[in-house]
Chains A and B, each alone.
Chain A
């Protein structure tokens, strides 16, 4: 296996709605920023991979237009996943492992605001039996939250605590959308919007983008004094049909973590950036990953503070990498999710230079 490192990361401010710029205009600044931070232009990038979905903007092939911000001439080696940018990172990592590339530009972006997001997301469900019923994304998360509470995984009070801690942590994150929170006991007096979820249990609707540069071995060391090495990465998916899944467990996260070298019984984790858009999902992921009090969970504020669809997973990896690069910890676990109720999960283990 080749050693592959995160050598640069940039993200846009995450906001409720970008009113003036189109997708290219939104993505281009982070693409420039990430390349400039390591002093290379597109000719120094061997492979480019992006993650987004046209369903968010409601414009067919809008992902192709975002390449207008890359600098794709002379023709570049490029790919796209209809997924979070974290999976674009995975593809880039594989590409580097094959030896076909030494450097990769990865980006993910999403305008979650143009449509009714909770309805747009229902289009990813089984098209015959489930999608025609239009179950909305918050409602499905509520089904899982109820199951997790009944199974003793979490409580409404713990969920309110997760919401408050996340948005207070986000006060130190200049890119976050929601910063600061009332105390948990105040939050718990709010009405339920999709029982048992209250507003604070749900992520904001966010427009935003993120970009990252990966590099292998000595190329990484040449580009930065603080490469953050991907020590393990894996992703797993569960069944499409919600009814056959145990929503109080996350076997895909568990197996991905085992394969990535994380999870219960492995070396201690200083920082965990978990892509848990809903509060109960953080509790579930922490349980599955065996994370205890020694680990700083979502110091960025996590997806509860900014949840740009198709970018928030990549942002978790970028946030964790930046903290390792800054010496805030030795070992981090970053996690990304996709699909309803944590259907698909990616786990990445990051470490600084030994």
Chain B
């Protein structure tokens, strides 16, 4: 406690009182989220098992998921691009720590997957391969949920698995690491 200046006798009177160390003030606000034109189109594509990106008219980079603008040039990304369901692991991490709400068994692998023809990596899980065999340059393909479970959610891609192709050379994706 700091040396608060209190009226005489107050400190003694409060000697046995438990100090207030915190208060709970629950707050809840509900919002209607607007994904936007570009993201809505992407999410509807996912429901149809399509991966839809957009190309910047200035730098020609392909963004997926698209947000409607090129963050580099600040212009609308108006050209629509459908991407294949294959790509390369540009970077990854092995998760060894259990945390609250976790549904995965550890260890498991999270990775950034650069789709063929894209300039922005998608985030996902890599499975059907031992965790210690995952590596940069690994060629992977999307494993989707069953068709009747497809929805407007990236979780419609359950995970990525190796295609068995030779690894991509570092030079081919170094710009995206």
Give chain A's interface residues, CB within 8 Å of chain B: 18-25, 28, 31-32, 42, 55, 57-59, 65, 67-73, 111, 113-116, 119-120, 123, 127-128, 131-132
Contact = CB atoms under 8 A, between A and B. Distances in A.
A55 B27 CA distance: 12
A33 to B, nearest CB: 13
Nearest to B74: A71
B63 to A, nearest CB: 10
B143 interface: no
26 contacts: A18-B34, A19-B34, A20-B34, A21-B34, A22-B38, A25-B37, A25-B68, A25-B69, A25-B76, A28-B75, A32-B75, A42-B74, A59-B33, A68-B67, A68-B70, A68-B74, A70-B74, A71-B73, A72-B74, A73-B71, A111-B34, A113-B32, A115-B30, A128-B23, A128-B25, A132-B25
Contacts of A70: 74
Nearest to A127: B25
A72 B72 contact: yes
Interface of B: 23, 25, 27, 29-40, 67-76
Given A68-B67, A71-B73, A57 B31 contact: yes
Given A25-B69, A72-B71, A114 B35 contact: no
Contacts of A128: 23, 25
A115 B70 CA distance: 28
B72 A116 contact: no
Contacts of A19: 34
A24 B31 contact: no
B33 A25 contact: no
A127 B25 CA distance: 8
A323 B131 CA distance: 66
Given A25-B69, A71-B72, A114-B31, 15 more contacts: A21-B36, A22-B34, A22-B68, A25-B36, A25-B38, A25-B68, A28-B68, A57-B31, A58-B31, A68-B67, A68-B70, A115-B30, A116-B29, A123-B27, A131-B27
A111 B33 CA distance: 11
A73 B34 CA distance: 26
Nearest to B23: A128
Contacts of B74: 28, 31, 42, 68-72
B71 A116 contact: no
A32 B58 CA distance: 14
Nearest to B59: A73
Contacts of B32: 113-115
Nearest to B68: A25
Contact of B69 (A28, A42, A73, A115): A28
B56 to A, nearest CB: 11
A25 B54 CA distance: 14
A22 B71 contact: no
Contact of B68 (A24, A55, A115): A24
Nearest to B31: A58
Contacts of A71: 72-75
B33 A69 contact: no
Contacts of A111: 34
A42 B36 CA distance: 24
Nearest to B58: A71
Nearest to B71: A68
Q: When A and B form their complex, which 7 residue pairs have the shortest distance between CB atoms, in order from nearest? A: A71-B74, A22-B36, A58-B31, A68-B71, A73-B72, A132-B25, A114-B31
